[in-house]
Amino acid sequence: MQRVAIFCLIALPLGSCGGPAQPGGHAVVSPDSPIGPAAISPDDTVEPALAGSAYQVEELLLTEQPALVIRGQSAPTELETELSGAIPRLIGHAVASGLELAGPPFVRYYERSEQRIDFAAGIPVVKPGPGSDDIESTALPAGPAIATLHVGHYRELPLAHEALRQWAERAGRRASGAPWEVFLTNPIVQPDSSGWRTKVFLPLAE
């Protein structure tokens, strides 16, 4: 699946996905943002099965992040189409509601199989705002989590999810909810997929 123009270019302020924000823009998600706060113990490394390189796994304590989302279900081959429709609608609704974006878009996966993906396409906002129709005002959860940075093509993201799953299993921890991916790189600014950066989060039970 090609998630190139979907996440970083559709009406997003300059700097949202490709680096530091320009004047009038919004900052990219960073280790100090509400989506990815500073690590408690970032020195654990996991070699995921089939991965060509190790993933650094951070143990985090997240603060709640207000967001707007559209829930949906699709076949894996149709996910790009679903997201390309959802993200601009979310951004348009945020702008019309006077809401400031807090970072780049994300996708949260509630169920995945070879036949169906149950997902939520979302954008973080600085303050909670109203929903509308199928647009839901919600929040990414507060609490313990682990995260890892994937550098490379989106089709290799399952390896990052597997790294987090292995870490949790080894540590005797269990997930408390669905994982999500935050897309940090603008693929048009950075067309070389080997440099695409995506942060993957997995919330954990207390």
| Mean pLDDT value of segment 24-28 | 30
| Mean pLDDT value of segment 22-36 | 31
Cα–Cα distance list, 171 to 9, 125, 144, 165, 180 (Å): 38, 33, 13, 10, 20
**pLDDT given at position 115:** 93
62, 145 contact by CB (below 8 A): yes
* Digit-coded pLDDT (tens) for 135-189: 999 999 999 999 999 999 888 999 999 999 999 999 999 999 999 999 898 777 8
| Mean pLDDT value of segment 32-55 | 42
Rounded CA separation 8/10 (Å): 6
**pLDDT given at position 136:** 97
Rounded CA separation 25/28 (Å): 9
Range of the domain at 197: 5-203
The CATH number assigned to the domain holding 97 equals 3.20.80.10
Q: Greater confidence, 32 or 83?
A: 83
* Digit-coded pLDDT (tens) for 94-118: 999 999 999 999 999 999 898 999 9
48 pLDDT above the threshold of 50:
no
| Mean pLDDT value of segment 34-44 | 33
Angle at 42 between CA 178 and CA 204, to 5 degrees: 25
196 pLDDT above the threshold of 70:
yes
19 pLDDT above the threshold of 80:
no
pLDDT confidence tier of residue 79, bands split at 50, 70 and 90: confident
**pLDDT given at position 49:** 41
| Mean pLDDT value of segment 2-13 | 40
Number of domains forming the structure of the chain: 1
**pLDDT given at position 53:** 53
Strand order in the sheet with 106-112: 39-46, 55-62, 143-151, 197-203, 180-183, 106-112, 117-124, 65-74, 135-140
SS3 assignment, position 34: coil
Q: Greater confidence, 41 or 60?
A: 60
**pLDDT given at position 13:** 35
Mean pLDDT taken over the chain: 79
Burial of 52 (0-12, 13-18, 19+ CB in 10 A): exposed
